[in-house]
Amino acid sequence: MIVTALLFLWLSPAAPQTDAGLAAEGPPAVIGQEKAAQSSVQKLAASLTKYYVGHFTMGPNWSAEPGPKVIEGRKKGREVLAAHVKDGKIVGVAEATGKSGASMIVFFKTTTEAEAWTVINEFPGVKSGFYKGKLFEVWGTKGLGEKMQETLKPAEAPATKPFYLAVTTKGKKWQSKPSNEQLKHVEAGAENLLKSMESGKLKFYAAFTGSGDPRGIAIFEAGSMEEAQKMAKSGPLMNSKWLSVAVTECSVVDGTFP
């Protein structure tokens, strides 16, 4: 079930073969079913497109007190960011604070992974070893970055807004294939995700391709960390320990979300 496999946080994802097929026509299990009422799972799958997500943390030349070169590098980095927001290759930026310190998350809308790495290697902070990064392929909510060109100013530090970031990984009772009992909850979970998007609380969700960790991410609004933890940890697949989740505070650059 390709559509089922696309269900972001709660199932192990398997991406469709081409982005064009998903963006233009919907995933394979949805195509040809226009006359039939779509299930919540199908609607959710049809809302996804392919991105590359870069996760950047402290590199070998990191310093808690950056000198003039780093400050100058940040200025040039803003210029690189603005240039690739303009050409549509960067569609979102977030900064998260976790146990290992602050980290940056950058969303790329490029044709290939190699193209995303070319953009990454233009940033002075990466070239100098101040930051180190990993790149992941994900299938996530369409529409990232549609307003960034309007809000981003190259000469200034980007304006941000606070949100919460949830990252799911394999739990203690993880199985490579969902059980029949777990599959029973898929439709209800998809419906809840769609309702959360419609309400405006859930801003972005995505599933990582491949068989390793992490499995998925979500960025959402909550009144407090306590509320955010409760929201992220609710649901039968979390309760059954099939998946586990970590929640951190994050700041997202204005214009990232539609």
Contact present, 116 and 132 (Cβ < 8 Å): no
Give the tokens for residue 42: 């199908």
pLDDT in tens, 147-205: 998 888 877 888 999 999 999 999 898 877 777 777 776 777 778 788 888 999 999 99
Common-topology check for domains 2-20+39-47+163-252 and 51-155: yes
- 111: DSSP letter: S
pLDDT in tens, 115-132: 999 999 999 999 999 999
Domain 51-155: give its CATH architecture: 2-Layer Sandwich (3.30)
Contact present, 86 and 122 (Cβ < 8 Å): no
The C-alpha atoms of residue 176 and residue 211 are separated, in whole angstroms, by 8
Q: Which residue has the tokens 């649901």?
A: 235
Contact present, 254 and 200 (Cβ < 8 Å): no
3-class secondary-structure state, position 205: strand
Contact present, 234 and 221 (Cβ < 8 Å): no
**Sequence-ordered list of residues with C-beta below 8 angstroms from that of 237, at least 6 positions apart, any chain:** 10, 182, 185, 189, 243
Q: Mean pLDDT over all residues of the chain?
A: 81
pLDDT in tens, 217-258: 999 999 999 999 999 888 777 777 888 999 999 999 999 998
CATH superfamily of 2-20+39-47+163-252: Dimeric alpha+beta barrel (3.30.70.1060)
**Which conformational region is residue 88 in: left (phi greater than 0), alpha (psi within -120 to 50 degrees), or beta?**
left
The C-alpha atoms of residue 243 and residue 136 are separated, in whole angstroms, by 19
What is the residue extent of each domain of the chain? 2-20+39-47+163-252, 51-155
pTM: 0.84
